[in-house]
Amino acid sequence: MREIETKYRVADLEALLVALQAAGVELGEPVFQDDQAYAPAGWRPEMGKVGHTFARLRSLDGGMHVFTTKTPLANPMECAEYETTVADREQMHGAVLAMGFEPNVRIVKHRRAGRAGRTEVCVDLVEGVGAFLELELVVDDDRDGLTAQAELDTWACGLGVELERTTDTYDILVRAAVV
pLDDT tens digits, the chain, 179 residues: what are they?
A: 899 999 999 999 999 999 999 999 999 999 999 999 999 999 988 898 999 999 999 999 978 999 999 999 999 999 999 999 999 999 999 999 999 999 999 999 999 999 999 999 999 999 999 999 999 999 988 889 999 999 999 999 999 999 999 998 998 899 888 76
The dotted CATH code for 2-178 is 2.40.320.10
> What is the residue extent of each domain of the chain?
2-178
Please, what's the largest Cα pairwise distance for the chain? 48
Please indicate, yes or no, whether the overall pTM of this predicted structure exceeds 0.85: yes
DSSP 118: T
Q: How are beta strands 78-86 and 101-116 bridged, if at all?
A: unpaired
